[in-house]
């Protein structure tokens, strides 16, 4: 697996990381713990060195899973986790409130270190911008944690460009994590140029459109009652039917390249910038291997032009988040 550097931070990771959320949370019931430990360790054997989790996934159980699975390989891997919510310890329903107060950030760091079975967090993201706490205070709190040797790098998730600039002045931001894929290209408008200017890496989550770009979901697919996609406007039956055009495009390119639609979607992201590191998630070994195969799919300038030309004529239907969660992004 080739390596990439996230901007000017000298944080070097595998060209594709692994998003771990879905193993515990978000896409139906939590997967079997032993199987997920095996999958995480197989990912390390296949060359993955970048793993993404958060305290809110579960809550808490995903960090514990990642910590246990990666403990034998700790020196070989980079673990990213996130603060910024105030999850209900009893796992109450609904998305929790935001909390990025400096004292809370420091409490979260201590708890995450224990769950991750480590003495340092490689990359500590603010999960969502908290409008009640100046970003300078957030960056200052992480700067303190870095000075104490508890955190190595600072990141932001779903932050707007001005917030990134303000944070970066207080404590250099190593990476910004936002949704980015062929069906959500808004980061191209202002975020990617700003990150390039500042020397900050970019970590696209949901690079396969929450599974839709794999071609394995269509208008007839039924999701588990606990699956987050049930409340996502982009996953209504009508939207899925309309959005099939994008999957058809990926399938056409995939056929030409002797690859799969998922591999084309990931290869397209890798081709955008050398400091972009997507983090597709999965709970299945064959999907992990399929995703990692994307790193060896070469898209030529002609391929990229064709994809851009065809995709720009497709209008993706439906918002990517329910309204309340969308209001938490781009601040």
List residues with catalytic annotation.
Answer: 57
At 205 the three-state DSSP class reads: strand
Cα dist. 39→31, 33, 229, 261 in Å? 11, 10, 23, 22
Q: What are phi and psi of 186, to 5 degrees?
A: -55, -35
Largest CA distance in the chain: 54
Distance CA 138, CA 106 (A): 10
Cβ atoms of 63 and 57 closer than 8 Å: yes
Strand order in the sheet with 201-205: 18-19, 50-52, 78-83, 121-126, 151-157, 173-179, 201-205
**Omega into 48 within 30° of 0, i.e. cis?**
no
Strands (E), the chain: 3-5, 12-14, 18-19, 50-52, 78-83, 121-126, 151-157, 173-179, 201-205
3-state helix, strand, coil in the chain (%, to 5): 45, 15, 40
Tokens found for residue 84: 């910024």
What tokens appear for 253 in the block? 């390119």
Helix (H, G, I), strand (E, B) or coil at 100: coil
CA distance 258 to 145: 47
Torsion angle of C-alpha atoms 13, 193, 323, 28, degrees rounded to 10: -20
What H or E segment, with its residue span, contains residue 90? none
Round to whole Å and give the CA distance between 167 and 187.
Answer: 18
């Amino acid at each position: 697996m080739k390596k990439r550097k996230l901007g000017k931070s000298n944080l070097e990771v595998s060209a594709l990381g692994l998003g771990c959320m879905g193993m515990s949370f978000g896409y139906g019931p939590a997967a079997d713990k032993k199987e997920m430990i095996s999958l995480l360790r197989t990912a390390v054997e296949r060359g993955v060195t970048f793993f993404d989790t958060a305290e809110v996934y579960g809550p808490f159980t995903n960090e514990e899973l990642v910590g246990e699975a990666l403990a034998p390989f700790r020196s070989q891997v980079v673990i990213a986790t996130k603060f910024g919510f105030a999850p209900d310890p009893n796992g109450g329903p609904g998305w929790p409130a935001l909390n990025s107060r400096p004292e809370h950030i420091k409490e979260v760091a201590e708890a995450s270190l224990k769950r991750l079975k480590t003495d340092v967090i490689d990359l500590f993201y603010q999960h969502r911008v908290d409008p009640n706490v100046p970003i300078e205070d957030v960056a200052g709190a992480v700067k303190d944690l870095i000075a104490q040797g508890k955190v190595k790098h600072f990141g932001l998730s779903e932050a707007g460009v001005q917030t990134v600039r303000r944070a970066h002045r207080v404590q250099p931001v190593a990476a910004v994590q936002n949704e980015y894929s062929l069906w959500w290209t808004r980061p191209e408008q202002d975020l990617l140029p700003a990150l390039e200017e500042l020397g900050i890496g970019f970590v696209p989550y949901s690079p396969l459109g929450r599974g839709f770009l794999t071609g394995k979901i269509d208008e007839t697919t039924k999701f588990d009652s606990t699956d987050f996609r049930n409340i996502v406007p982009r996953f209504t039956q009508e939207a899925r039917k309309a959005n099939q055009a994008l999957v058809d495009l990926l399938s056409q390119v995939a056929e030409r390249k002797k690859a799969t639609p998922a591999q084309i979607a990931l290869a397209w992201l890798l081709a955008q910038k050398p400091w972009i590191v997507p983090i597709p998630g999965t709970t299945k070994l064959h999907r992990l291997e399929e995703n990692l195969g994307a790193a060896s799919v070469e898209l030529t300038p002609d391929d990229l032009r064709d994809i851009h030309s065809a995709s720009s004529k497709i209008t993706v239907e439906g918002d990517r988040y329910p309204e309340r969660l969308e209001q938490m992004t781009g601040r």
